[in-house]
């Protein structure tokens, strides 16, 4: 039997009861490690995190906590090679795809370390200006943001075991809030390895970082009103979490990052042969194949003018045909595996559902695999579908197939395109491709209310842009409606989730004393 990974809770490594749930290599089908959260004293573990971890973190200033994040970066960099080995074995990803997760995590942490250092040696942040309440100005109001005195529980998805932890932990720890992470079981090993290395290095105070691997059962019950939950995963699990007593009755603050039918939109000015058209084709192919399409931000719907439908379909299909699929240990392989055979079955079922309403423009599902047994490996070539009657195919705007799959959809005019994008009911990101800066700005504003991010690609940024699906810590991540309604990252905005806002109404001298105490060391407005 493989090793049972212990949980780290209440400052101790503790194994869960029973044999645990096995994690597998999705290419070879071999068992790697096991996890169990059964029988853990969650209540005691959470209390330790709040009291010991939270207390120690809040005693530090933002700049000191930023220094801690920088130390975590050093630990992760020192162990980086092993993380790639674990990702190769447990996620079945190529080195390039693993880097999106692992190096993305390290980059994001480093960025928050730099931003945090600039906040200086302060312990609270201001929000807006001081405003007079009394006519003579003697009595005023000042809004302050102070770290919440609870813990941050992260319930994460399987597709980003590294970045998914650190993109949340960076702003939480910088805010002075201790973290308990529950990674998705399928790929929990990498999250576990990173936490184990950081704990062993002793760069965080006791109780600042805990990990529970295995079933999520009972995870929300011990939460208290000042705790926060950040969830990333499917809309169905999100609905269960939202209905939990912790959220409904104890007002635990919750952030939801759920699934999303993200779009790529070619504007009417950009026909075949234009630079914008070529950029759309390249980006769609990249988004469909990076991490086998298992990115919450991946392009699922591609909107082009009806006159370009055939040429766009041909160009994307031709590029997809070049993608080699199989065992990522073979250096000729460009696209590795899905995270598990269960995911593989789910993607096949999703394609079958979409195919009832669409035509197949490229079918890679039966293409031969490189160095992988098709009966065992969770590997699958990409599929491009097309819909010439999009209004009759509501399913295309509603069904997230979490794999290398996208649907090409024609539109009549820009109004029709915007209407169709909106059928996604709120998305994380839409990318817009055009030669025309004015049209780009207009389309971006028109779509802004339904998205967390608009990624506008004009030819002059063809080489410089950061990628439709890449989540940069400087920009907001999240989206309204279907996408979960959450907000993450976006620079220091992310810290707000881990702070409580209060208005302090007082005399001018009291408020001056408040500012003076802080400004003696720096400012954090």
Ranked by CB distance to ligand NAP, the top (closest) residue is 233
Reply yes or no on whether 296 is catalytic: yes
User: Among residues 167, 257, 283, 487, which one is catalytic?
Assistant: 257
Instruction: Return d(Cα 371, Cα 93) in angstroms, integer.
Output: 14
- HEC secondary structure over 202-224: CCCCCCCEEECCCCCCCCCCCCC
Q: Closest Cα partner for 257 from 168, 134, 356?
A: 168
* Binder among 234, 324, 330, 470 for ligand NAP (CB under 6 A): 234
* Binder among 36, 148, 210, 232 for ligand NAP (CB under 6 A): 232
* Binder among 93, 159, 191, 289 for ligand NAP (CB under 6 A): 159
Closest CB to ligand NAP among 91 and 434?
91
CB 280, min distance to ligand NAP, A: 22
User: Among residues 213, 296, 308, 379, which one is catalytic?
Assistant: 296
> Of residues 104-133, which lie at the interface with ligand NAP (CB under 6 A)?
none
Closest CB to ligand NAP among 295 and 518?
295
**CA angle 199–205–206, rounded 5-degree value:** 70
DSSP 405: E
Instruction: Return d(Cα 265, Cα 421) in angstroms, integer.
Output: 8
Please spell the DSSP secondary structure of 10-73, one letter per residue: TTEEEPPSSS-EEEE-TTT--EEEEE--TT--HHHHHHHIIIIIIHHHHTS-HHHHHHHHHHHH
* Binder among 34, 123, 168, 182 for ligand NAP (CB under 6 A): 182
Which phi and psi angles does 262 have, rounded to 5°? -65, 155
Closest CB to ligand NAP among 120 and 480?
480
CB 150, min distance to ligand NAP, A: 18
* Binder among 189, 277, 402, 411 for ligand NAP (CB under 6 A): 402
Q: Closest Cα partner for 336 from 345, 347, 324?
A: 324
237 lines the binding site for ligand NAP (CB under 6 A): yes
296 lines the binding site for ligand NAP (CB under 6 A): yes
Reply yes or no on whether 460 is catalytic: no
Q: Closest Cα partner for 299 from 331, 256, 264, 344?
A: 264
40 lines the binding site for ligand NAP (CB under 6 A): no
**CA angle 482–486–491, rounded 5-degree value:** 135
- Identify how many contiguous H helices and E strands the chain contains and give both numbers: 15, 22
Which phi and psi angles does 374 have, rounded to 5°? -60, -20
CB 185, min distance to ligand NAP, A: 4
- 489: three-class secondary structure by DSSP: strand
CB 496, min distance to ligand NAP, A: 18
Question: Which region among 56-64, 182-190, 192-200, 273-281 touches ligand NAP (by CB under 6 A)?
Answer: 182-190
CB 8, min distance to ligand NAP, A: 17
Closest CB to ligand NAP among 125 and 380?
380
240 lines the binding site for ligand NAP (CB under 6 A): yes
Q: Which residues are the active-site residues?
A: 257, 296
| Positions in the binding site for ligand NAP (CB under 6 A) | 155-160, 182, 184-186, 215-216, 219, 232-234, 237, 240-241, 257-260, 296, 400, 402, 428, 483-484
């Amino acid at each position: 039997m493989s090793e049972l990974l212990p949980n780290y809770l209440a400052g101790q490594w503790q194994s869960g009861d029973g044999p645990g749930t096995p994690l597998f290599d999705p290419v070879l089908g071999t068992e790697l490690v096991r996890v169990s959260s059964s029988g853990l004293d969650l209540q005691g573990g959470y209390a330790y995190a709040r009291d010991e971890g939270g207390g120690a973190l809040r005693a530090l200033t933002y700049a000191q906590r930023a220094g801690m994040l920088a130390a975590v970066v050093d630990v992760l960099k020192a162990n980086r090679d092993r993380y790639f080995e674990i990702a190769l074995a447990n996620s079945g990803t190529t080195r390039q795809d693993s880097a999106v997760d692992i190096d993305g995590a390290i980059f994001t942490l480093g960025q928050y370390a730099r931003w945090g250092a600039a906040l200086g040696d302060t312990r609270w942040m201001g929000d807006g200006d001081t405003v007079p309440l009394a006519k003579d100005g003697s009595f005023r109001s000042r809004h302050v943001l102070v770290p919440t005195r609870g813990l941050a529980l992260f319930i994460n998805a399987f597709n980003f075991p590294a970045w998914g932890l650190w993109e949340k932990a960076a702003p939480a720890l910088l805010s002075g809030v201790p973290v308990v992470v529950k990674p998705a079981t399928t790929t929990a090993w990498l999250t576990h390895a990173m936490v184990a290395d950081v704990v062993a290095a002793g760069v965080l105070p006791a109780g600042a970082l805990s990990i529970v691997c295995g079933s999520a059962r009972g995870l929300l019950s011990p939460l208290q009103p000042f705790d926060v939950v950040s969830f990333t995963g499917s809309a169905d699990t999100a609905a269960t979490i939202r209905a939990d007593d912790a959220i409904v009755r104890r007002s635990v603050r919750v952030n939801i990052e759920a699934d999303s039918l993200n779009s790529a939109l070619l504007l009417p000015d950009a026909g075949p042969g234009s630079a914008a058209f070529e950029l759309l084709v390249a980006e769609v192919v990249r988004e469909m194949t990076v991490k086998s399409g298992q990115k919450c931000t991946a392009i699922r719907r591609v909107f082009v003018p009806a006159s370009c439908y055939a040429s766009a379909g041909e160009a994307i299909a031709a590029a997809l045909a070049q993608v080699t699929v199989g065992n990522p240990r073979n250096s000729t392989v460009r696209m590795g595996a899905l995270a598990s055979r269960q995911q593989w079955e789910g993607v096949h079922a999703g394609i079958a559902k979409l195919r009832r309403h669409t035509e197949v423009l490229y079918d890679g599902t039966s293409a031969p695999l490189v160095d992988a047994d098709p009966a065992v490996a969770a590997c699958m070539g990409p599929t491009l579908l097309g819909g010439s009657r999009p209004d009759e195919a509501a399913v295309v705007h509603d069904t997230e197939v979490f794999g290398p799959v996208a649907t090409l959809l024609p539109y009549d005019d820009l109004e029709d395109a915007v209407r169709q994008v909106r059928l996604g009911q709120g998305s994380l990101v839409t990318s817009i491709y055009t030669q025309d800066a004015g049209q780009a700005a207009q389309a971006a504003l028109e779509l802004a209310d339904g998205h967390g991010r608009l990624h506008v690609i004009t030819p002059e940024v063809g080489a410089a842009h950061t990628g439709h699906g890449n989540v940069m810590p400087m920009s907001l991540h999240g989206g309204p409606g279907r996408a979960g309604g959450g907000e993450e990252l976006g620079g220091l905005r992310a810290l707000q989730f881990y702070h409580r806002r209060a208005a302090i109404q007082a005399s001018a001298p009291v408020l001056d004393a408040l500012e003076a105490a802080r400004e003696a060391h720096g400012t954090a407005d």
